[in-house]
Structure 1
Amino acid sequence: MPDLDPPLIAWYRANARDLPWRAEGFGAWGVLVSEFMLQQTQVSRVIPRLEEWLERWPTPADLAAAPPADAVRLWANLGYPRRALWLHRAATEIRDRHDGVVPRDVDALLALTGIGDYTARAVAVFAYGDRHPVVDTNTRRVLARAVDGKSQPGAPSKVDLASMSAILPTDDADAAILNAAAMELGAVVCTSRSPQCDACPISHACAWRAAGYPDTGDDRRKQARYEGSDRQARGAVLQVLRAASDHSAPFDAVLAEWPDALQRARAIDSLVRDGLVEVTDGRLHLPR
């Protein structure tokens, strides 16, 4: 196993992007909200929404006291709007189960709505400084190349946590930095399509580089095209309801001109199933 932590930690301290959730004292609630928002979403889109969200709801109890419709509306164009509902439910659970304080324990975090292995450990590590492996897509790519000599990671699995644990330093603070550094390296240097190997602080220890950069294949599931998809139709329905003064509209008027009537129906049905839209007296509205 290559000794990656000294050069990677040094590189991170000198080159890490200045992001809000990395600021001293940002707080566990802010970290949790940011992690919900960052899932499959660009940093540049998250930052303004995160600031607006935390200004309006600076604590879990503040969000829990608001109607779910407000959470869905303020989620705006971040995509995957179920995350807004999950975050609202998680805030309610934090208020009711943990006296309004985001828990530190990984198992307690995993018991909250919408939180999986990555988010639970990210909060425990980046908010509380505990020693756990934190593995996102960028980390998995760094591990695949530097440790396993592969061009791309395989499908996510529990093995990823073990692989990251194996390179973590014993010191809690250094372990937290290494977690952040691996994620940062994958985001800005060891990118999926155009890795900047000449700028990589661990290129000397990279198994993929040593093997001559072989193409070992890419079996990751590809995301379906957005244009013309059911996801686009769902987003269009929510956009109509967000824009309405009372967050509602007559059922028949919502996307009445959508070119695919069956797709419109599927979009509305799926939004109702997900709890993002409700139907009352012939009108669609955001959840109350």
Structure 2
Amino acid sequence: MTADSAPQGGPIAAQPLAAEPGAGHLTGLHRRITGWFAETARELPWREPDCSPWGVLVSEVMLQQTPVVRVLPVWREWLERWPTPAGLADEPAGEAVRSWGRLGYPRRALRLHAAAAAIVRDHGGKVPGTYPELLALPGVGSYTAAAVAAFAFGRRETVVDTNIRRVHARLISGVALPSPSLTAGEMRLAAELMPDDDGTSVRWNAAVMELGALVCTARAPKCAACPVRDSCAWLAAGEPPPSYTPKGQAWHGTDRQVRGAVLAVLRLADAPVPAEMFQQEPADLGFAAAGIGVPLSALHRLNSAPEQLERALAGLLADGLAELHQGGFRLPA
């Protein structure tokens, strides 16, 4: 899923495309892609009819920049522990961070906790059902607001994630990859392609997203399995290469890796951890007995420079993912 920093979702004024598909052709694309989805879609718990809007909201936040296979077990644990927003809101924010596990980008856990508190405070504990109300929740951006309004409440919203952008780029625009960041033109294209009725629009959003995730992938698209390959502008153009080389995010040796290692220690700690414990191997094996010996040793094996560890600790404090208490670091209360 795309991050929520870009202006995605909500009312978009449809504008003519450079090469606008005819009405009949567009109806055919709707029918063929949603038909493919009906036959091949993955069975995911947040797609089940009995999944609550809260379950959909949790899934959408967890799935941002994180693959389904990693999200599934954590999502199930969250919904078992916190089946309603009130359940999460009643817990300290640190418990959300602790239960986030190793999904990455743990500030998302804090955003979910803040959203849960707002849902309880402002909406009687029920996830609101319109795009503006969802967008007003703390930490909910335009993509998430549109996705929850569509998938949890059946509303016609323009949902645009990375997978959808890639399908649109190849199928309609004839380029290998969408632009590095979301553009207004891409949003106009997505709005132009949307079916008019609510039910079909929801299925279309989900189907195009699934097509991008499973078939029209970034590096090795399975064009032979595509239900609309005969209509693909990119294939018709001879599969021109992308105009840029996507760059993955570095991990090993970065501040993000050190932050993650520190958080792994704090998740298992039942008492504040003194700063010196992060900086050197502990002589006191009591910390191992307390359950943090394994992640603490993993942190020390990174051999981080003192200034990098200091940046990681300071960053966790600044982001609200940790706090100082009784001379040590712990998850937020």
TM-score range, shorter chain: over 0.9
8 Å CA contact 1:237–1:255 kept in 2: the answer is no
Secondary structure (helix, strand or coil) at the match of 1:147 reads helix
- Is 2:211 the counterpart of 1:166? no
Q: Provide Cα deviations, 1:87-145, integer angstroms capped at 9, x if missing partner.
A: 00000011111111111111111111221111101100000000011111000000010
Pair 1:108–1:254, CA change in 2 (3 A) = same
Instruction: Return the index of the structure with the highest Cα Rg.
Output: 2
Deviation at 1:255, TM superposition (A): 4.4
1:141 aligned partner: 166
2:203 aligned partner: 177
2:327 aligned partner: 282
What amino acid sits opposite 2:137 in the alignment? L
Q: Which moved more, 1:111-120 or 1:179-188?
A: 111-120
Specify every segment of 5 or more residues in structure 1 that has no aligned partner in the other structure, as ranges.
Answer: none
Alignment of 1:232-247 (within 5 A): 232-246=257-271
Query: TM-score normalized by structure 1?
Result: 0.96
What amino acid sits opposite 1:196 in the alignment? K
8 Å CA contact 1:134–1:161 kept in 2: the answer is no
Secondary structure (helix, strand or coil) at the match of 2:153 reads coil
1:44 aligned partner: 69
Aligned residues: 286
The whole-number CA distance in structure 2 between the counterparts of 1:89 and 1:16 is 32
- Is 2:258 the counterpart of 1:210? no
What amino acid sits opposite 1:19 in the alignment? L
Secondary structure (helix, strand or coil) at the match of 2:329 reads strand
Deviation at 1:217, TM superposition (A): 1.2
8 Å CA contact 1:72–1:276 kept in 2: the answer is yes
2:143 aligned partner: 118
The whole-number CA distance in structure 1 between the counterparts of 2:178 and 2:132 is 27
8 Å CA contact 1:31–1:123 kept in 2: the answer is yes
Pair 1:107–1:159, CA change in 2 (3 A) = farther
The whole-number CA distance in structure 2 between the counterparts of 1:10 and 1:153 is 25
The whole-number CA distance in structure 1 between the counterparts of 2:240 and 2:185 is 22
1:271 aligned partner: 316
Deviation at 1:231, TM superposition (A): 0.4
Q: Provide Cα deviations, 1:242-277, integer angstroms capped at 9, x if missing partner.
A: 11123x211221243443111101101111000001
Instruction: Find 2:132's aligned residue among 76, 99, 107.
Output: 107
What amino acid sits opposite 1:100 in the alignment? G
Query: TM-score normalized by structure 2?
Result: 0.83
The whole-number CA distance in structure 2 between the counterparts of 1:130 and 1:271 is 37
8 Å CA contact 2:89–2:120 kept in 1: the answer is yes
Q: Which moved more, 1:108-117 or 1:146-155?
A: 108-117
The whole-number CA distance in structure 2 between the counterparts of 1:232 and 1:58 is 31
1:80 aligned partner: 105
Specify every segment of 5 or more residues in structure 2 that has no aligned partner in the other structure, as ranges.
Answer: 1-20, 281-299
8 Å CA contact 2:269–2:330 kept in 1: the answer is no
Aligned alpha-carbon RMSD (Å): 1.2
The whole-number CA distance in structure 2 between the counterparts of 1:51 and 1:260 is 37
Deviation at 1:280, TM superposition (A): 2.3
Deviation at 1:84, TM superposition (A): 0.3
Secondary structure (helix, strand or coil) at the match of 2:38 reads helix
Instruction: Find 1:231's aligned residue among 224, 242, 256.
Output: 256
Secondary structure (helix, strand or coil) at the match of 2:324 reads strand
2:226 aligned partner: 200
The whole-number CA distance in structure 2 between the counterparts of 1:153 and 1:108 is 30
What amino acid sits opposite 1:191 in the alignment? T
1:11 aligned partner: 36
Deviation at 1:162, TM superposition (A): 2.1
What amino acid sits opposite 1:276 in the alignment? L
Secondary structure (helix, strand or coil) at the match of 1:192 reads coil
Deviation at 1:158, TM superposition (A): 3.6
8 Å CA contact 1:153–1:218 kept in 2: the answer is no
What amino acid sits opposite 2:250 in the alignment? R
Deviation at 1:218, TM superposition (A): 2.6
